[in-house]
Structures are given as structure tokens and as C-alpha cells.
């Protein structure tokens, strides 16, 4: 359309506006950029210093509460003498395998339940009761069936992580814009295509937040399995053994390691959450 | 506009129905929604008879809740009537089909896809067999047609509402459907963009020759666009009158809008709907 009708002029104006948004750059001082990391470093340094001073007084029993320095040195020696790394590897490996299995079960089941009323009706009572039931309750049964070992530890992780993923996917599917599904019908998508081209991408942010919760629950499951499973492997086992030996420095070192690990995983999924659906942020603003 | 000519010539209309003949027939249709919990049925439309002719632009106007959306959903094939039949080319409508494309009020674009990929969505199914080259040629063609040539790689959330609806129109046109169903397509865009889009739609349809069923609650819009205007009353929806709009095209020359007949048509329709419109206001 080369003629300049009101309509094309309108399109041209719109195009111009979209191409050249009125953004001017402003000066950012070094402090604005570095504020968050600097404050975090000072904050943590102060925390461990106060801890150190507090633990050095006779107010607490060093048997239960080590100095911060002792904790760090236990952490260092643990990695240096190679006693900690295989245990960390075992735990992380189990967690990751467990999460992959949970995602492979939870995502399709959740999507299917969310989109299919009959499946929802039939499976709901089981899914919700298994979601609500504390995972520890399964331990005696699992030990009975699987014995003390890796299968049991992995199973408890899968049991812990699968259900939050299912529930989140289900909730996500219910937010899918019905007019998108109608558009799918109009343009002849098959049922399977509706899942892969509309429902799955639309639900992706919910899937990621399901994984986020799955990680948190899976970590709990991992520790329960290692603490009660008695297989002699994993960070939970190190915790258990350290407590038996009144080795509070190692105990706290492992707790610190677990805290870092959890925060890292949760931050990763939060980052992923923002990445998978940039349009949602835009809509929210 | 040679490209547009291609679009019109290439459209795969089944033979046998020439312009002016009945293409869609709605016979004795009653439709409604069951409320299973309350064990009640809301009748949205009662005893609708309507013949839609090939090549015409049919506007359906009525107050909110008069069932006009139900009617277009039945023609699209999402909703089945409780009684009566809807036929396209003498074949009963039981499901959506490639001969009918729809433009939605809320655009219904996939937010994770670019403009281009959104238009491509309409070509991704069994019934449309096009080569990659043909698909991208067609997409470029319809995007040019709706004035979005430069926005193929943009995402919907980067576009204004009016532009998003252009994508919706492009997506519907890319399959070269015989019938274009439009459910209040400009209901969500601002008034200025709306008028521009109406003018552009008239031009697009003049070039591509689709049969259009256009739902609106704006009397002005119905008269400005429709070859015929179906006036629907509410609760339950019934056809009050079908009006032939005898105004020259293009209707968006300023002359036509100042034509006294334009005002007569809108006044006449307003008179038909006034009581209901005022009644509906009270209910809200």
C-alpha cells in the first residue's frame, strides 16, 4: 500500500513509536551499581565476626556451637583430604537424577490433569493426598521394600519432588487463555499440537516454579533418606556421623554447604523463571 | 496492488457458489448454555434464521449478552446449537474447518512467538500443505497487506493493541479462508485506531473478497462496514431486523460519513435497540 490513507499513516506512526521509544540514558554512579554486592559482603563479614566473638566467649558450649573459623577450617580440610567431595557429589547427583525423574513424571501428568477434566477428577484424590502427606511417613515402608541403599534415597527424592511439580503444572494449565485454545481449534491444531504449541509454552513459568518447589522438597527428601537410610553415603550421613562424634565444626560446615547449595539452586530457578516468559513481566508492569 | 490480486485469485473456494448465492445458512437455531450445577439452561438465541451470501460483509449488531458471539461461535464450529442447523455450502457445521478463519476480540496471539511465527501458526496443521518457501511468501504478503511489513520479528507485547489485531487479521488471512469470522475485533482498541482499522479492513476485504461475518456492539461500526446489518435483540437473542445498507464504498471517504443516509441508518438501528440498551444499563 503506497497511498497514504489515514490507516497507513496510523500504521506508520505506530511503527515510529515502537521503533524509537523515548528512552534517555541517565548517569549511574559507581555506588548505585555496586551497592548490593558491597552491602552483602559487609553484612556477611559482620555476621561471621559476631559469630566468632560470640563463640569465643564462655557463653556457649563449643561442643554444640563451634567458632566460625573452626567451621571454615573443617570445610577446608574436608575438601582437602577428599572426605567431603564424594559425599557432596553423591548427594547432588542423587538430587539431580531424582529431579530429572520427577520432572519426567510430573510435567506430563500435571499437564494432562490440568487439561483433562476426567483425569483431574480421577487422579486428584491421590495426587492431593500424596502432596499433603509428609514424606518421612514413607521411610519405614521404603526401607522395608528397598532396604538401606541408594534406591531408597532416590525414591524418597522422587516422591518429594514429583507432587509439587504435578500440582504446579495443573494450576498452570488452568491459567491458559481459552481464546488461545480456540485459536488452535480454528487453525486446525491436533490435540497433541495443542499441548506442545499452546499449553506447554504457556505453562512453562508454572513448570519452572514447580521445579523450584520440587528442588526445595527434593532437598528435604534427600536429607531424610541419607539421615535415616543409613547407607553410609551423602551429606546427610556426614551430618549424622559428625553429630555422633560431637564434631560440631563439621556439622556446621555441612549445614553451610547445604545452605549455599539450596540458595544456589533456588536462585537458578528464579533466574530461569524470568527467562522463560519475558512477556509475563511486561504484562504485569 | 498485484500481490493482493494473487491472494484473491488463489483462494481455494470450492466451486458451485457464486457471489450473491447463499453460502452460510442458519435455520431455526436455538442455542444456549447449560448450567449443570443449577440444572438450568440459559437460552442465548432463539429461532434464528439467517442466510449469509457469498462475498457479502455481514455485520451483526446487538447489545452485550444478546448471543451474537454464540452465533459466530456456532458458525465457527465451537458451539453446537440446541436445535436447528447451521450449514456452510449445504454441509452441516460440526467442528471448526479450514474454510472458516476467525479473528478474536482479545487477539489470541501466542505471546512467545514473533509476529511472523504467530501468522505461521495458522499454517501448521494437517489440512494446510504448503512448502516452506510458499509459507514465508504468504506470510510476507499478508503482513504487507495489514501494514506490518517491518514487524515480522517483533513480539506481540512490543506492539500496540491495534497492531496486535493486525497480526490476528493476517493470521486469519494467511490460510486464504472463504469465510472470515470477526468477533468484535476492534472492541479492545482505542477509538482513533479503531476508525483507521475499519478503513483498512474495508480495503483488505475489497481486495481479497472474503465473505465476512462481523460481530460488533457499535452501531456506527456496523453501518460503516456492513453490506447488510443484522440487528439482534437480547434475552433471548432474536433477529429484530436485517437492513440492507445502501451506501457507496469506500465508506471511509469523508463524504459518505456525512451522507444523511448514514445517520438515518444508525438512527433507525438505535431506535430498534434503544429500549434494550437502556434496560441493560439498569441491570448493571
Along the 285 residues of chain A, how does pLDDT read in single tens digits?
344 444 444 544 554 445 555 567 777 777 778 888 899 999 999 999 999 998 888 788 878 888 889 999 999 998 899 888 999 999 999 999 999 999 999 999 999 999 888 999 999 999 999 888 888 888 888 888 888 888 888 999 999 999 999 999 999 999 998 889 999 999 988 888 899 899 999 998 889 889 988 988 899 899 888 888 767 788 888 988 888 888 889 999 999 999 998 888 888 888 887 787 776 654 443
Interface mutation vs chain B, best among A9, A187, A198, most B CBs within 10 Å: A187
**ipTM field:** 0.82
Task: Say how many Å lie between the first and final Cα of chain B, rounded.
Answer: 48
The CA distance from B194 to the nearest CA of chain A, in Å, is: 10
Checking if the pLDDT of B122 tops 50, the result is yes
Of A8, A180, A182, the CB nearest to B110: A180
d(CA A143, CA A12): 70
Checking if the pLDDT of B82 tops 50, the result is yes
Would an 8 Å CB–CB cutoff place A121 in contact with chain B?
A: no
Task: Say how many Å lie between the first and final Cα of chain A, rounded.
Answer: 35
d(CA B36, CA B48): 25
Chain B residues close to A201, C-beta within 8 Å: 110, 112
Residue B127, all three cell numbers: 489440512
Predicted pLDDT of residue A21: 53
Predicted pLDDT of residue B102: 94
Taking an 8 Å cut-off on Cβ atoms, the answer to whether B147 and A1 are in contact is yes
Predicted pLDDT of residue A44: 93
Predicted pLDDT of residue A205: 86
Q: Write b or e for each residue in B26-58: b if 16 or more Cβ atoms lie within 10 A of its Cβ, otherwise e.
A: beebbbbeeeeeeeeeeebbbebebebbbbbbb
Predicted pLDDT of residue B170: 93
Predicted pLDDT of residue A22: 59
Checking if the pLDDT of B23 tops 70, the result is yes
Predicted pLDDT of residue A189: 86
Checking if the pLDDT of B281 tops 60, the result is no
What mean pLDDT, rounded, does chain B reach?
84
Chain A residues close to B147, C-beta within 8 Å: 1, 7-8, 11
Nearest CA in chain B to A179: B108
Predicted pLDDT of residue B90: 86
Taking an 8 Å cut-off on Cβ atoms, the answer to whether B147 and A182 are in contact is no
Predicted pLDDT of residue A109: 93
Q: Are strands B228-233 and B238-244 parallel, antiparallel or unpaired?
A: antiparallel
Rounded to 5 degrees, what angle do the CA atoms B150, B154, B160 make? Answer: 90
The CA distance from B112 to the nearest CA of chain A, in Å, is: 7
Confidence label for B282 from pLDDT (cuts 50, 70 and 90): very low
Chain B residues close to A187, C-beta within 8 Å: 101, 121-122, 124-125, 171, 175
Nearest CA in chain A to B181: A186
Confidence label for B248 from pLDDT (cuts 50, 70 and 90): confident
Taking an 8 Å cut-off on Cβ atoms, the answer to whether A186 and B100 are in contact is yes
The CA distance from A111 to the nearest CA of chain B, in Å, is: 18
Helix axis angle for A248-276 and A68-80, nearest 10°, is 80
Q: Is A251 helix (H, G, I), strand (E, B) or coil?
A: helix
Checking if the pLDDT of B5 tops 50, the result is no
The CA distance from B200 to the nearest CA of chain A, in Å, is: 6
Q: Do the Cβ atoms of A63 and A246 come closer than 8 Å?
A: yes
> pLDDT tens for residues B26-56?
998 888 887 777 777 888 888 889 999 999 9
Of B157, B171, B200, the CB nearest to A282: B157
Taking an 8 Å cut-off on Cβ atoms, the answer to whether B196 and A7 are in contact is yes
Predicted pLDDT of residue A4: 41
Nearest CA in chain A to B96: A186
Q: Do the Cβ atoms of B151 and B115 come closer than 8 Å?
A: yes
d(CA A277, CA A11): 28
Would an 8 Å CB–CB cutoff place A37 in contact with chain B?
A: no
Q: Do the Cβ atoms of A116 and A179 come closer than 8 Å?
A: no
d(CA B78, CA A186): 9
The CA distance from B129 to the nearest CA of chain A, in Å, is: 12
> pLDDT tens for residues A120-138?
999 999 999 988 888 888 8
Q: Are strands B179-183 and B22-35 parallel, antiparallel or unpaired?
A: unpaired
CB pairs under 8 A between A and B: 108
Would an 8 Å CB–CB cutoff place A10 in contact with chain B?
A: yes
Predicted pLDDT of residue A272: 83
Predicted pLDDT of residue B15: 60
d(CA B248, CA B257): 10
At a CB cut-off of 8 Å and minimum separation 6, what does B127 contact?
A188, B98
d(CA B182, CA B210): 12
DSSP string, A174-217: HTS-HHHHHHHHHTT--HHHIIIIIIHHHHHHHHHHHHHHHHHH
Interface mutation vs chain A, best among B74, B125, B135, most A CBs within 10 Å: B125
d(CA A71, CA A66): 7
Predicted pLDDT of residue B3: 41
Checking if the pLDDT of B256 tops 90, the result is no
Taking an 8 Å cut-off on Cβ atoms, the answer to whether A15 and B150 are in contact is yes
DSSP A66: -
User: Sheet harboring B40-53: ordered strands across?
Assistant: B40-53, B22-35, B83-88, B91-92
d(CA A98, CA A155): 8
Predicted pLDDT of residue A5: 46
A214 vs B64, more confident: A214
Amino acid at each position: 500500500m503506497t497511498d497514504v490513507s489515514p490507516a497507513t499513516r496510523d500504521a506508520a506512526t505506530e511503527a515510529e513509536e515502537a521503533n524509537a521509544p523515548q528512552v534517555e540514558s541517565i548517569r549511574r554512579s559507581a555506588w548505585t551499581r555496586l551497592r548490593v554486592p558491597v552491602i552483602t559482603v559487609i553484612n556477611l563479614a559482620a555476621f561471621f565476626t559476631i559469630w566468632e566473638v560470640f563463640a569465643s566467649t564462655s557463653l556457649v558450649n563449643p561442643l554444640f556451637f563451634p567458632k566460625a573459623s573452626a567451621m571454615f577450617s573443617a570445610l577446608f580440610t574436608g575438601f582437602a583430604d577428599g572426605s567431603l567431595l564424594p559425599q557432596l557429589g553423591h548427594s547432588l547427583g542423587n538430587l539431580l537424577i531424582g529431579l530429572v525423574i520427577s520432572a519426567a513424571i510430573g510435567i506430563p501428568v500435571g499437564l494432562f490433569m490440568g487439561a483433562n477434566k476426567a483425569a483431574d477428577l480421577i487422579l486428584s484424590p491421590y495426587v492431593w493426598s500424596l502432596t499433603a502427606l509428609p514424606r518421612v511417613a514413607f521411610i519405614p515402608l521404603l526401607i522395608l521394600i528397598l532396604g538401606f541403599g541408594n534406591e531408597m534415597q532416590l525414591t524418597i527424592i522422587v516422591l518429594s519432588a514429583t507432587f509439587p511439580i504435578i500440582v504446579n503444572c495443573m494450576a498452570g494449565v488452568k491459567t491458559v487463555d481459552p481464546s488461545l485454545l480456540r485459536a488452535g481449534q480454528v487453525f486446525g491444531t491436533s490435540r497433541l499440537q495443542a499441548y506442545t504449541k499452546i499449553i506447554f509454552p504457556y505453562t512453562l513459568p508454572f513448570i519452572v516454579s514447580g521445579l523450584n518447589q520440587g528442588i526445595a522438597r527434593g532437598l528435604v527428601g534427600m536429607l531424610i533418606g541419607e539421615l535415616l537410610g543409613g547407607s553410609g553415603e551423602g551429606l546427610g550421613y556426614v551430618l549424622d556421623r559428625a553429630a555422633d562424634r560431637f564434631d560440631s565444626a563439621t556439622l556446621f560446615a555441612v549445614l553451610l554447604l547445604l545452605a549455599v547449595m539450596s540458595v544456589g539452586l533456588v536462585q537458578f530457578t528464579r533466574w530461569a523463571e524470568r527467562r522463560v516468559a519475558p512477556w509475563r513481566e511486561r504484562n504485569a508492569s | 496492488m498485484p500481490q493482493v490480486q494473487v491472494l484473491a485469485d488463489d483462494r481455494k473456494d470450492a466451486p458451485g457458489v457464486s457471489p450473491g448465492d447463499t453460502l452460510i445458512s442458519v435455520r431455526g437455531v436455538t442455542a444456549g448454555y447449560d448450567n449443570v450445577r443449577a440444572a438450568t439452561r440459559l437460552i442465548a438465541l432463539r429461532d434464528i434464521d439467517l442466510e449469509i451470501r457469498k462475498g457479502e460483509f455481514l455485520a451483526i449488531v446487538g447489545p452485550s449478552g444478546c448471543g451474537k458471539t454464540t452465533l459466530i461461535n456456532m458458525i465457527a464450529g465451537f458451539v453446537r446449537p440446541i436445535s436447528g442447523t447451521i450449514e456452510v455450502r449445504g454441509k452441516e457445521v460440526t467442528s471448526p474447518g479450514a474454510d472458516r478463519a476467525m479473528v478474536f476480540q482479545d487477539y489470541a496471539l501466542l505471546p512467545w512467538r514473533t509476529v511472523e511465527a504467530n501468522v505461521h501458526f495458522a499454517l501448521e496443521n494437517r489440512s494446510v500443505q504448503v512448502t516452506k518457501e510458499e509459507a514465508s511468501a504468504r506470510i510476507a504478503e499478508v503482513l504487507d497487506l495489514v501494514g506490518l511489513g517491518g514487524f515480522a520479528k517483533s513480539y506481540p507485547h512490543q506492539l500496540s493493541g491495534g497492531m496486535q489485531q493486525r497480526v490476528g487479521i493476517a493470521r486469519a488471512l494467511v490460510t486464504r479462508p472463504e469465510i472470515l469470522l470477526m468477533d468484535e475485533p476492534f472492541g479492545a482498541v482505542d477509538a482513533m485506531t479503531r476508525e483507521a482499522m475499519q478503513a483498512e479492513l474495508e480495503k483488505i476485504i475489497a481486495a481479497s473478497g472474503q465473505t465476512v461475518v462481523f460481530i460488533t456492539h457499535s452501531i456506527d461500526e456496523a453501518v460503516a462496514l456492513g453490506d447488510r446489518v443484522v440487528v439482534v435483540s437480547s434475552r433471548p437473542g432474536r433477529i429484530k431486523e436485517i437492513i440492507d445498507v445502501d451506501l457507496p464504498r469506500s465508506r471511509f471517504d469523508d463524504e459518505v460519513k456525512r451522507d444523511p443516509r448514514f445517520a438515518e441508518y444508525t438512527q433507525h438501528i438505535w431506535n430498534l435497540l434503544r429500549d434494550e440498551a437502556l434496560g441493560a444499563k439498569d441491570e448493571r
